[in-house]
Copies of this chain bind each other. A is one copy, B any other.
Amino acid sequence: MFIVRQTTKITAMSPYDPSAYPPFAVTVDLVVLTVRRHALCALVVRRGEAPFQGRWALPGGFVKGDEDLGAAAARELAEETGLCAHDPASPAANGAHLEQLATYGAPERDPRMRVVSVAHLALAPDLPAPRAGGDANSARWAPVDALLDHDGGFGRDGEQPAPLAFDHARILGDGVERARSKIEYSSLATAFCPAEFTVGELRRVYEAVWGVALDPRNFHRKVTGTPGFLVPSGGTTTRQGGRPAQLFRAGGATVLNPPMLRPEV
Contact = CB atoms under 8 A, between A and B. Distances in A.
* Chain A interface SS verdict (over half): loop
A265 B257 CA distance: 8
A4 B17 CA distance: 15
Contacts of A1: 4, 6, 8, 10, 20
A62 B14 CA distance: 10
A4 B3 CA distance: 6
B113 A19 contact: yes
Interface string A1-34: 1111011111001111111111111100000000
Interface in A45-65: 47-49, 61-65
Contacts of A6: 1, 65
A103 B106 contact: no
A21 B28 CA distance: 13
Interface in A35-49: 47-49
Given A62-B13, A69-B105, A18 B25 contact: yes
Interface in A104-132: 104-107, 110, 112-116, 118
